[in-house]
Amino acid sequence: MVQTNDKSTLNFMDYKGLAISVLKKLNAQDSWDDHLQDAYLVFLRAEQSYDRSRAKFSTHFETLLYYHFLTQFRKASHQAELLQKYGPQLLPSTAYVWQDNLLTIDILRNAHLSQREKLTTQLSLQDKSIQQIALLFNQSPSTIKRIRKNIRQKLIEAGLTNDHSWH
């Protein structure tokens, strides 16, 4: 249960039907359990941003939920279109990662990289361009450059390279 500013309580289970209704409106195809977990997180965010003078809580929650899922579904659709258009060459080759490439293994084990940084490293080592990586992640090229800069810094900190020009 979550308390609102006026000391009344809101319970997600009371709004679960509303969440399901939004998912049906958007023709959700994936796991409903995952979507309901997302809905709960949106519920918590909605409770924090709720202003009683502007709307009913259910209206506020439904609006946030609708646009949250709409964004998620659009991202998934965009990635599916990219895969269909460019094929599997944009996806990292798991065979490459597990080859006897000691540098790759050292980087992935010792540089304390996030999943996105690991994937960016793998794609970079496969000679994928910044533009190709940006398309796969649905990000701008400048975001990929920033990720690569962070990777470079982590590699230096881990003692895996002293080459400041790796990119």
With beta carbons less than 8 A apart as the criterion, state whether 155 and 164 touch. no
Angle CA 40–45–48, to nearest 5 = 130
Please tell me the least confidently modeled range out of 9-13, 49-53, 101-105: 101-105
Sequence-distant (≥ 6) Cβ neighbours of residue 10 within 8 angstroms = 1, 2, 3, 4, 43, 47, 57
CA-based Rg of the chain, rounded to a whole angstrom? 21
Q: What is the pLDDT of residue 65?
A: 95
Domain with CATH 1.10.10 in the chain: 91-157
Q: What is the pLDDT of residue 31?
A: 72
Global pTM reads: 0.50
Please state which CATH number belongs to domain 91-157.
1.10.10
β-sheet bridge partners, residue 10: 2
Mean pLDDT of 129-135: 88
Q: Is the pLDDT of residue 43 over 70?
A: yes
